[in-house]
Amino acid sequence: MSTLLQQTIDRCRAAGLRRTKALEELIHTLLENGRPMTLSELAASPRLRNQCDKATVFRLLQRLAGHGLVRRLGLHERAAYFTLLVPGKHSDYLICTGCGSIEAVNAPCPVHDLEDEIRRKTGFRNLYHELEFFGTCPECAV
């Protein structure tokens, strides 16, 4: 088992979540894909399709999101995408308002310095941010 997988499972247990095969396979799928995935993509993935049904995957995602272990992305009227939150790893996203596609921003995050300043000035701990940019992707702009 990879170190990151084990660390994430340990974070789940610390949050009070029971370690199940479905939970482990869901985390493994999110880690190995390395990109936000929809509920349908997750439920149909090789690790989960014979392990549990779509409703179970949804409930697991809701629990993980509720404990700050998974981030829900996307436009509210479209399918949601889910991505695993990994301590020390940060991604910002571009979301197309036309087709709903999501991709990571491949540029330095402009908010880290501001986050450090806010932390210093307010004394907040465990401060984090989520940054999503909305626009029209090249395929939809044509």
Domain boundary among 60, 88, 116: 88
User: Are residues 30 and 70 both part of a single domain?
Assistant: yes
CB contact at 8 A, 76 and 133: no
19-37-3 Cα angle (round to 5): 45
Task: Please write the tens of the pLDDT for every residue from 13-39.
Answer: 999 999 999 999 999 999 998 889 999
CB contact at 8 A, 87 and 34: no
User: Are residues 83 and 97 both part of a single domain?
Assistant: no
Cα(109)–Cα(106) distance, rounded to whole angstroms? 9
User: Are residues 72 and 118 both part of a single domain?
Assistant: no
**Domain range holding 95?**
90-142
User: Are residues 119 and 52 both part of a single domain?
Assistant: no
pLDDT band at 12 (very low <50, low <70, confident <90, very high): very high
Task: Please write the tens of the pLDDT for every residue from 47-105.
Answer: 999 989 999 999 999 999 999 899 998 776 677 889 988 887 888 899 998 888 888 89
User: Are residues 66 and 19 both part of a single domain?
Assistant: yes
User: Are residues 62 and 103 both part of a single domain?
Assistant: no
CB contact at 8 A, 41 and 93: no
**How many domains is the chain partitioned into structurally?**
2
CB contact at 8 A, 27 and 84: yes
Q: Tell me the CA distances in angstroms from 69 to 12, 15, 37, 64, 76, one per residue in order.
A: 8, 9, 15, 5, 20
User: Are residues 50 and 120 both part of a single domain?
Assistant: no
